[in-house]
């Protein structure tokens, strides 16, 4: 069954991460192309973290689980759809699908994968023109190295502060110096994630929906 009247909003993080930024991060993954169909992720990357993002004076939070090319995002407050709030979004890069889990209705809304759903996980940014080490720092209780990174891409230059866990080669935090935008992965725990985290719940009905983005502004 294909449902066209339903209208989930963009995933929580994608409302605040324009496609331009996703293209910057995709260079981290071998074989990645600038299309959703070409997106890949390291198969051995598995971790959980607190996901925090900020833009326009608004800060939002979620719990994140990553298993290679699969993400599970448990949203604080949920994602609004025409059928109610989806508390969980599962992103399957391997299947080119995104699943909104509507627990109250025991439904799974399936939409096609686009770059809006690809999480920024890269240490190296595409288009870097300079990288300066500032010094040791902390992100929450996590040790990090702070860098200032200048990126020049498509005739647009932007400067970031970037916090990296050097030992584990993980991006912990990225903050734009040119606008009110940041993303942070807190309390990162590298550990095996169960496969069922990234599957649809048993007993839930799955259907396809044509996604229409709500107007912003």
User: 132 and 104 share a domain?
Assistant: no
- Tell me the whole-structure pTM to 2 decimals: 0.75
Characterize the bridge pairing of strands 2-3 and 205-209: parallel
Mark whether 83 and 99 lie in a shared domain: yes
**Is 63 found in the same domain as 31?**
yes
Please give the residue that has the higher pLDDT: either 29 or 6. Answer: 6
Question: Is the pLDDT reported for residue 176 higher than 50?
Answer: yes
Measured in whole angstroms, how far is the alpha carbon of residue 214 from the centre of its chain?
19
pLDDT at 217: 32
Structural domains in the chain (count): 2
Q: How far apart are alpha carbons 118 and 128 in whole angstroms?
A: 20
97 lies in the same domain as 162:
no
**80 occurs within a structural domain:** yes
**3-state class of 15 per DSSP?**
helix
Which of the pair, 5 or 138, is modelled with greater confidence?
A: 138
pLDDT at 44: 76
Residues 79 and 31 both lie in one domain: yes
Instruction: Indicate whether 42 and 140 sit together in one domain.
Output: no
pLDDT at residue 216 tops 70: no
Would you list the DSSP string of 140-187? TTEEEEEEEEEEEETTEEEEEEEEEETTTTEEEEEEESSSSEEEEEEE
pLDDT band of residue 8 (cuts 50, 70, 90) is low
Identify whether residues 172 and 79 lie together within a single domain: no
Cβ–Cβ < 8 Å for 118, 21: no
pLDDT at 58 over 80: yes
Q: Is the pLDDT of residue 138 over 70?
A: yes
Same domain, 94 and 112: yes
Mean pLDDT of the chain: 79
Residue 9 confidence class, pLDDT cut points 50, 70, 90: low
Query: Is residue 214 situated within a structural domain?
Result: no
Is residue 95 a part of any domain in this protein?
A: yes
Residue at 217 is within a domain: no
Between 106 and 35, residue with greater pLDDT: 106
Calpha distance 106→15 (Å, rounded): 25
The pLDDT assigned to 37 comes to 53
pLDDT exceeding 90 applies to what percent of the chain?
A: 51
Do both 108 and 159 map to the same domain? no
* Full residue range of the structural domain in which residue 77 is found: 2-120+190-209
Strand, helix or coil at 56?
Answer: coil
pLDDT tens track for 74-127: 999 888 887 888 999 999 989 999 999 999 899 999 999 887 777 777 788 878
User: Which residue did the predictor score with more confidence, 41 or 143?
Assistant: 143
Is residue 217 classed exposed, middle or buried when 0-12, 13-18 and 19+ CB atoms within 10 A define those classes?
exposed
Give domain status of residue 215, yes or no: no
| Distant-in-sequence, close-in-space partners of 174: CB < 8 Å, separation ≥ 6 | 120, 160, 161, 162, 163, 182, 183, 184
For residue 49, being part of any structural domain is answered with yes
Instruction: Place 65 in a pLDDT band, splitting at 50, 70 and 90.
Output: very high
């Amino acid at each position: 069954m294909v449902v066209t009247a339903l209208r989930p909003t963009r995933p929580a993080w994608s409302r605040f991460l324009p496609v331009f930024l996703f293209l910057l991060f995709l260079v981290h993954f071998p074989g990645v192309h600038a299309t959703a169909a070409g997106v890949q992720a390291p198969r051995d990357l598995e971790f959980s973290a607190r996901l925090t993002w900020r833009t326009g004076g608004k800060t939002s939070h979620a719990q994140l689980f990553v298993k290679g090319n699969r993400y599970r995002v448990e949203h604080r407050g949920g994602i609004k759809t025409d059928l109610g709030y989806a508390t969980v979004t599962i992103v399957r890069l391997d299947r080119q699908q995104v699943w909104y889990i509507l627990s109250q209705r025991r439904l799974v809304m399936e939409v096609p994968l686009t770059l809006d759903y690809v999480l920024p996980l890269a240490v190296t940014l595409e288009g870097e023109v300079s990288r300066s080490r500032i010094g040791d720092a902390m992100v929450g209780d996590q040790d990090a190295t702070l860098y200032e990174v200048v990126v020049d891409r498509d005739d647009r230059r932007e400067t970031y502060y970037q916090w990296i866990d050097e030992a584990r080669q993980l991006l912990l935090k990225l903050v734009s110096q040119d606008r009110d935008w940041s993303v942070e992965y807190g309390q990162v725990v590298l550990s095996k994630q169960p496969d069922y985290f990234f599957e649809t719940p048993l007993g839930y009905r799955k259907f396809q929906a044509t996604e229409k983005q709500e107007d912003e502004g």
